[in-house]
Each structure stands twice: as structure tokens, then as C-alpha cells.
Amino acid sequence: MDRLRVLVTLPLFDEVIDRLSASFDVDVSREGILAEPEALARRAAGCAGLLVSGSPRIDAALLDACPGLRAVCSMAVGFNNIDVDACTARGVLVSNAPGVLTETTADFGFALMMAAARRLTESEHYLRAGRWNTWRYDMFAGQDVHGSTLGILGMGRIGQAIARRGALGFGMPVIYHNRSRLDPAAEAVVSARWVDKPTLFAEADHIVVVVPYTPQAHHMVGEAELGLMKRTATLTNIARGGVVDDAALARALGEGRIAAAALDVFEGEPQVHPGLLAATHVVLTPHIASASLRTRRAMADLAASNLEAALGVGPTPGRPPTALNPQVLAARPC
């Protein structure tokens, strides 16, 4: 029987490619992420499976151009780039990579929040520019993290992991806003208190945004929310570009309406709003919150396991570990 063909749409660990090559004919986009729609459709034509990251748009047009596709497996936890309903309607299994990146991403979110509060990158740029010639009592004096109120928007796995760091490690009272409240036992672990969104923005000293991107979450943090924040407060976004209105944030920073911000994700990334690039009180990183080598490998391995299982090979054929629409497998002829 002919081996199935799969496309890995980004350069990836050799070990993961070797593993997939044991079962499939593997094409790898070694030159970079394959996200341009026409190029992706051309290369994916004739493939049964795709291994993707959080960027290429997987929509009805791509699926219709690639009728042989049976699985789209992402190594990202966020799957706003994939039209899951369109995949389900065409019997295409979709998976993401939850769980394996929780702690690593929470570490980075916490680091960004601390960097913004304590003006870490701003002061480093000053030093590197050769401008440090004295010590002053107020030089780069920022905001305390320990004991300050931590506000979390979106209290899923990563939000809870950040809450644990704040409450247990830094003695921070934790408030959060989420569509659904945690059960009381989970709230008790971090003494977290659910509040409505305006209260979160008005009361928190440091706000971390970790809500998944959906159309409803678009610009969930905009002019109105920023206007409620304390002048001494910071905002950190590790969710997705588009959850925060970057133009409104650049204005708030430029006018000194909030103390500082830290962003790992941007609207229209890898482009960054010029107002953010010009602002000094903002820490900017290129979407690397989950980027430890061990975690990136675990994400890639999980995507590979899903791809194998969705295409009927590997240790759990027919049972992809983190499928988003497992019902499509039940509907497939044996």
C-alpha cells in the first residue's frame, strides 16, 4: 500500500521528522513557516495530514483545495487560525497541544510582568547606550510585584499557573475574570476571587491577559478597560494579538495613563504597532512564551502523536490524544 503523505509546515526537530518518516512520506517546509495561502495549498495538495503551528490559516478554501486532507494537527495550544467547523464538516480531524506548555508559558508571563513592573528592559537599554553615569534614588524606580494585586483575564490552565506563582511565591492577592468561575476548590488553591471585568481593571496592580482569541475576545482590552486602570498598573499580554487593542495601548502608554506593559503577541504580528515600538515603558518579545527547548519538543511530539493516531498509526491508532473534534473519527468508515 502507498504510504500517506504529510506536510510539516515549518522547520522542526530532526527527531520529530524522523519519527514521522517511519510511517509517512514527509515533506518539510525547511525554509520557514508556510503560511501564504496559495503556497500552502499547492504544497498541501495530495497530503493526508498537516502538522502546523499557530500561524497558517486553515480555512474552507484550503480544505477545498486539498480534498485528501484527513488531519490538521497543531503544535500550538491556541487554534484560532483553524476553522474547526469547516474541518469537521469535511471529516478532517483537528488537534491542538494543550497541557504540555502550561508551566513554561506561565513562567514567561510572570517574567514579562516582572520585567514591566521593574522596568527591566528599559533600564538595560539605557545602560547599553552608555547613558549610566550616576546613581539616583528614583532611577528606574518601578512598581513592586510582591504583595501587589494580580489580576488575571482568562483563568484556564495557564491563568491558574500564573495565579499559583503570584499567590504562593509572591504573596499577591489574586483576582480574576473569566466567562466561567473556577470551582471553589480551585479558587482556594490560590485564594483567587472572581470579579467582573471593570473591577479587574480598576483594582489590579498587574494584569495578565491569557484569554483565548475568539471573535468575542477581539479588543476585549481596549480604550475603556485601559481607562479604568491605575496609573501605577501594568498590563501583560501573552494571549493572542487582537485581544488587546494595540493602538489604544500605545496611546495609554504614550500619555502615561498606565505605568508599563509587556507584550509577547501583537495584532498583525510579526508587524508591531509603531506606537509600541516608540514607547519606552513596554517590554516586547517575539511570541516566545512557550519557547523552552523541552517544551517546544513536547509540543511537536504531541502534534506528531495526534497526526499518527488520526491517520491510523502509532501507539494509539484512531485515538488522537488531544483531538478537538474526535467525532469525525467515529464517522469514518473502518
Binding site for ligand DGY (CB under 6 A): 53-54, 76-78, 101, 290
Selected catalytic residue, list 193, 269, 297, 319: 269
CB of 98 to ligand DGY, least distance (A): 9
Choice between 175 and 265, CB closer to ligand DGY = 265
Choice between 52 and 163, CB closer to ligand DGY = 52
Q: Quick check: helix, strand or coil at residue 241?
A: strand
Active site residue 287: yes
Contact 282, 253 (CB under 8 A): yes
Write the secondary structure of 135-175 as one string of H (helix), E (strand) and C (coil). CCCCCCCCCCCCCCCEEEECCCHHHHHHHHHHHHHHCCCEE
Active site residue 273: no
Choice between 55 and 88, CB closer to ligand DGY = 55
Active site residue 240: yes
CB of 109 to ligand DGY, least distance (A): 11
CB of 29 to ligand DGY, least distance (A): 16
Choice between 97 and 221, CB closer to ligand DGY = 97
Q: Quick check: helix, strand or coil at residue 103?
A: helix
Q: Name the strands in the sheet holding 234-237, side by side, starting at the edge strand that comes first in the sequence.
A: 192-194, 174-177, 150-153, 206-209, 234-237, 260-263, 282-284
CB of 275 to ligand DGY, least distance (A): 23
CB of 125 to ligand DGY, least distance (A): 26
Selected catalytic residue, list 240, 273, 281, 296: 240
Choice between 172 and 243, CB closer to ligand DGY = 243
Q: Name the strands in the sheet holding 25-28, side by side, starting at the edge strand that comes first in the sequence.
A: 25-28, 5-8, 49-52, 71-74, 93-95
256: left (phi over 0), alpha (psi -120 to 50) or beta: left
What Cα–Cα distance (Å) separates residue 234 from each residue in 20, 92, 242? 44, 42, 18
Q: How far apart are CA 132 and CA 109, in angstroms?
A: 29
Selected catalytic residue, list 118, 119, 165, 287: 287
Active site positions, annotated: 240, 269, 287
